[in-house]
Structure 1
Amino acid sequence: MRSSEVASVAAEAVAAVVDGAAPPSDGAATAWAVTDEDGTVTDWNEGATRLLGWARGDVVGRPAARLLAPGHGLRPPPRAGLSWSGTVSLRHHDGRAVSVWVLAHRRRPKDGAEEGGWLVLCPLRDPGPLKPDEPLMAVAMAQSPCAMAVFDERLRLRAVNTVMAEAVGIPEERLRGLHMSEIVGGRQGAKLEAHLREALTTGRREDVQTFLRAADEDTAHAWSARIAPLTGPDGTVLGVCVTGHDITEQYRARERLQLVNEASVRIGTTLDVTRTARELAEVCVPALADFVSVDLLEPPEHGDEPLAGPLSAPFTLRRAAHRSVTPGCPEAVVEPGATDVYPASSPQASSLTAARTVLAVDPAETLADWLAGDPVRSARLQEYGVHAAMSVPIRARGTTLGVAVLSRYARQDPFTPDDVLLAEEVTARAAVCIDNARRFSRERETALALQRSLLPRTLPRTPALEAAWRYLPAARAGVGGDWFDVIPLSGTRVAMVVGDVVGHGVQASATMGRLKTAVRTLADVDLAPDELLTHVDDLVVRLSREAGADGITGEVGATCLYAVYDPVTRRCSFARAGHPPPVVLAPDGRPLDVRVPAGPPLGVGGMPFESTELELAEGTVLALYTDGLIESRDRDIDAGHELLTRTLTRHRSGSLDGICQDVITSMLPANGAADDVALLLARTHALDPARVATWAVPADPAAVARTRGQVLDRMALWGLREAAFTAELVVSELVTNAIRHGAPPIQLRLVHDDTTLICEVSDSSGTAPHLRRAMTFDEGGRGLLLVARLTRRWGSRHTADGKTIWAELALAED
């Protein structure tokens, strides 16, 4: 009977006793009795009758306590224990006391009973110890399921049993007299002999785990060995005994489980497809294969989902990653990032078409036929002696993403069914991670494309300032809703805005686009910064309410900083809604203390915004940015703001574009920021006072002719005689409308830059003009229509004292 069968029979016997089945039937060798939990005897065998003289009918159904002699010495067994043993004094049928050793087992309850009682055993005959010259002792050494070896006091091998001889692969007569280091060899043999010497010297047992390779086998087996000293009657150590158990299957199972656990930790650390593919290859080499390649199908165009149905050869795959036990991966035919076409006979095509693992072994037959249609790879495999390979499809959520090919040439053992299951398990885990990374990359690219289409590609050139910018999407969290803009306003003024929408992804980018459009529209109305933020706040509240009605979780929120700079007066006004304050540097690099009230974030609703205005010298540098630039895990917003100020001060000279790059390089990690970053830098210009002319106009129609004359004189002074006639007509119409429909005081201002002449007429009336088309016989109503046709653009803006009507005349082609 095999050792596994013996163990199975023993396990069944123990289970039968504990579960309440019939007790052992050898009544001649063992006396036993069964009691219930109340102590009543329920069964009694012939051996018990021989031991105590009580017949079965005298005992069954009566308390077991009647069998105890005075001074019996019985201790109550522990209720939680399954076994109890000890010497007990029992009462014989003839009245004398019999001292016996008993072994009691608790029985499991049956038929719903809470307690199961006890089975009490007592051996009747002692067969005596096993003598060295008995046949049983002789065959025990030879037929023991454990591998055994005996070494003498000089650590020379004296005897081995059959199992040990088979493990070594050499007959016993060839091994006797050798040392362990000579039998096993190498460092492994030296380590084992050191353990033998330790046991011989100290007299203590040693438990070790080792690997032995039989002479006729290619692979080593894992062994769990116990090394114990052998002592004589006087305690003298006579030698050492080694017993071992082959635990190869348990060891391999533990290795497979460890590899699966390692794969769950090491694969999918990032949402990067290439990195995940590389992690899959790194986990499998060398634990499972000597060379692993991971090839992925090319993603569909326009961001479509991969086909979920059956695939057909040939296939074009891109090498995502590969790894080898040989440095440099010389086995590879394709480099990472390159594409290759795999014919229908290739392992990749076979597994992709069948959507299952394809295994090939034996290079002389199956493997060569498997690669017959791929001569390049076939030659490379034969060059390196690849003897086993398997192709595992990478599939997730019913979609085939690619294929992983595992090959062996350094390891001589072939792939086993367990290896195939392990490769499929690891690849399946990697496939989910690759699919997640692919979906994340696709959503990220979509959001990036949307955001790029919404952000300005170039900034407008204005006489008010020069500007430069940088935008960096988040490295890991996905694209957010950061934006910036430079908006030309009337009167050579310019607006600068930087904002940040809460959240990431396509939804945040779409919200950013709506807010950016709203800010541009409101800027065209020439609202003051605090008024503009109030209107944008109302819009965000409305968007949040609409999102809740559509079932979208989370509220819409944003922060914003809005500034307007006038190069004529060199004054700049700021207002912000929960956004980081600007950094303003004087022309000499000195930071200016600009206290802009923080204001609530956009979307709170009902809270007022305040603005701050200050005069800026020409050449002042303004930095508007989002919190992703200054805030990180290592520093808070205040520390980041201080670092940004120092960085701008240090790099203030040179072009703004270079300063932007210096700031990004100095303040952000090389692997990218954790949040989106938007940075807008502007250097202010001042308009020459000689290019501005201002007149006070009396509220008298007769003053129109005199005003036209003043305009013609100034146009001649500026050398703009070609545009003088048009300017005269526009000024005449605007001044006439102000006199007729406005309220004094009335003021005319001409502003001249290199390409534009701006005419502005201000009065104290808050009534805005309206463009209308006059009928054929109408005597009026054509003034503003004439202005609109003669100028590039025109409009009106409200001021603290009334309104201003303005018009721009192009002096040269843009």
Structure 2
Amino acid sequence: MAPARRATEQTDESGDSGLLAALLDGMDAALAAFAADGTVTHWNHEAERILGWTTTEAVGRTGLTGWAVRKEDAAGIEAALAAAMRSPGRQVHEFALLTKDGRRVLLRTQSSAVRGPGGRVVGVYCAFSEVHTQLDLERSVALAEALFEDASWGVVLIDADLRPAVVNAHAGRILGVGRTALLGRPLGELLAQGVEELECALQHVLAEGAPPATTELWVTLRSEGAEFPRRCWRSGFVRLATPLAEEPVPLGVAWLFQDVTATKRAEQESSLLRFRARQLHRAGRAAAECPDPVEAAAVHLDFALAGFADHGLVDLATTPLPAPYGAVAEDEAYDACDTGDGAAAAGGTGIPPGGAPGADAGPGTRHGGPQLVRTLASPAGVPGPAERLPATGIPVPYAPRHPVFQAYERRGSVRTGAGPASPEGWAAARHWPDGTVHGLCVALRSRGRTLGVATFLRTPARRPFDRADADYAEEVAARIAAALDLAGAAALGGARSAHCR
């Protein structure tokens, strides 16, 4: 029985030795082990790769002096290994060892004592790697920690299922939710708009790799605390693959992004201002070539509609012939208002019957809103230049408190809209072309008088008018008013000449 037991024990020891050798050779770190007397007992393939000495050449040697260490460095290394055998835990050092071809290599080592049964020290093992490799690893870890803690860019790791796996603090602030609340949730739960573009970009990166340049994504957050309804994120993508597999296996995508909404909005506003300034310049040049002031007003209206509105209307107030310029009494009404009759007609000029538009009315005429006659209008339904309408003198039947009356009374601009519901008949009830849902009414002011109202209209394809739009419309309205005032003055001069004759 004793020989059989010994044979079994030898077989177990042989199996354990083979398993240990396989484990050592499969390690990513280089490893060397020494007995208590300094004899090399283990030397794996990674140590062979770094230093060039094979396992056969290394195992069995006593110490490292003379073949893997210079004599000048041997004392310090032997002292460090001896200290590791006496101390608990791991000891970290940096040693300069020799390769087989005579080069010196700076290595970072971790040494620890090897204890046998009963806790007796039987040797020491030393795991080591090249210093620059260790530094690269430490830099990578430090970079990852910095990106996820202190980076001024949002960083989100997206897994292969297109769900956030890791989110840094800056990304959590941009998205308006906590870092842990994002983990594992579909992107569609975070973004109301722009999720298709983002998922398409992520899928492309997973399949083809990182794009050569950053991209800008316009998105809308679902969180109620969003500062802007739409945001622009400048985004970069990096495909992640595991370094442990023989073939690259995608782990996901690192999505780095920065909120550039303010910058993009400033660029858009600057571009819009340049375009509108060019339009005003071109309109002024074209209107200067028109012999008829009403035609010049129509030219200003046409140029204003480009990229700004879908429809344009000009309504002028009907008034009687005024007294000569400068002869208005202090207590007389300053703006045109509703009058029951007109004294004369300006035939063929597009000016409403009753003389110059917006001329001052006499006292006692302010018993209601002004009578506004449609003078210019852009074609409804088909593109084309603004048309001068026949001078019928029939006012548009606007309802009380209509935006045109509000703009007339305020001597400024009034914005209005149908709202999200966009009820049917909203435009028709206001005597505007069908399909319009946003309106901007601007008073036509010239020489201190209100001549009428210009109306700009948008369909649902455009956004509502804002303050910048109102400023531009007021500039256009001032030019239209000047042209129509000139037409009224010309008509007034012709009527007086005929009366004198």
Same fold (TM over 0.5): no
TM-score bin, normalised by smaller chain: 0.3 to 0.5
TM-score, normalised with respect to structure 1 = 0.29
Higher RCO (CA < 8 A, seq sep 6+): 2
TM-score, normalised with respect to structure 2 = 0.43
